[in-house]
A and B are shown apart, each in its own frame.
Chain A
Amino acid sequence: SAVISQKPSRDICQRGTSLTIQCQVDSQVTMMFWYRQQPGQSLTLIATANQGSEATYESGFVIDKFPISRPNLTFSTLTVSNMSPEDSSIYLCSAVNHGSLGKNIQYFGAGTRLSVL
């Protein structure tokens, strides 16, 4: 398994500002992902965080709005840029480690609850 810690757990931000969310895994992992969960909705994949290279974004999500870094095998950040109230959501990080690779078993953090005023 893998234990995933996200910081901050929640934040309230003003529109037009940016917030960087950190995701730390307790062991080296092969793949990391970022999801968004809007109020009362299911999870939507934002992007795959690639170690040492640019993230792979899903349709509807762009790097300028959601820049992602993954400098090593245990850490990633997601920035929500130029925020608007529509960005109010829970943002979740997940990871696939070597033991679960090929089984599509992902481990999730508890999420960051973001409110934009």
Chain B
Amino acid sequence: DAKTTQPNSMESNEEEPVHLPCNHSTISGTDYIHWYRQLPSQGPEYVIHGLTSNVNNRMASLAIAEDRKSSTLILHRATLRDAAVYYCILSRLQGAQKLVFGQGTRLTINP
């Protein structure tokens, strides 16, 4: 499985935008970029995924570099509830549907 690299931790202020980076220089053409987050004492939850084009949903936006070697998860207006560990994961949609979790980025939101 292709590897992703994320900062161990980031900090932001409430009601400000947050940009969470992810490097995936060995991504293959069939790898989708998925983001999950894990709130304290909970299981992970799906945030967003994309292949080449930028994606938006009610939770976040995903900006994918043109060469696909990096991506950024954007939380437009962080709230205290967004404090979590964010995981950037590469996966292929066919076949095993497995997720390989890295260490993720621990996001702290200051009030």
Do A and B belong to a common assembly? yes
B89 to chain A, nearest CB (A): 9
Contact of A103 among B41, B93, B101, B103 (CB under 8 A): B93
Q: Are A103 and B49 in contact (CB under 8 A)?
A: yes
Secondary structure class of chain B's binding surface, majority of residues: loop
**Contact partners of A109 in chain B: CB under 8 A:** 43
B93 x A45 contact (CB < 8 A): no
For chain A, the count of residues having a C-beta within 8 Å of the partner chain is: 24
A63 sits at the interface (CB 8 A): no
A72 at interface, CB cutoff 8 A: no
Residues of chain A lying within 8 A (CB to CB) of residue B32: 104
Residues of B within 8 A of A45 (CB): 98-100
Cβ distance A98 to chain B, nearest Cβ, rounded Å: 12
Instruction: Select A31's contact among B46, B87, B97, B102, beta carbons within 8 Å.
Output: B97
How far apart are the CA atoms of A43 and B87 in the complex, in Å? 10
Cβ-defined contact, A108 with B43, below 8 A: yes
Q: In the complex where A92-B43, A110-B42 touch, is A104 in contact with B100 (Cβ < 8 A)?
A: no
A94–B98 CA distance with the chains assembled, in angstroms:
11
Of listed A48, A96, A106, residue having the most chain B CB within 10 A = A106
Q: With A42-B87, A104-B32, A104-B97 known to touch, is A110 a contact of B102 (CB < 8 Å)?
A: no
B102 in contact with A104 (CB, 8 Å) = no
Residues of B within 8 A of A75 (CB): none
Q: Which residues of A contact B42 (CB under 8 A)?
A: 108, 110-111
A39 within 8 A of partner (CB): no
- Residues on A with beta carbons closer than 8 Å to the beta carbon of B91: 104
Residues of B within 8 A of A (CB): 32, 34, 36, 41-46, 49, 87, 91-94, 96-104
User: What would 19 A/B residue contacts be, using CB atoms closer than 8 Å?
Assistant: A4-B43, A42-B101, A42-B102, A42-B104, A43-B44, A44-B101, A92-B43, A94-B99, A96-B97, A103-B93, A104-B34, A104-B91, A104-B97, A105-B49, A106-B36, A106-B97, A109-B43, A110-B41, A111-B42
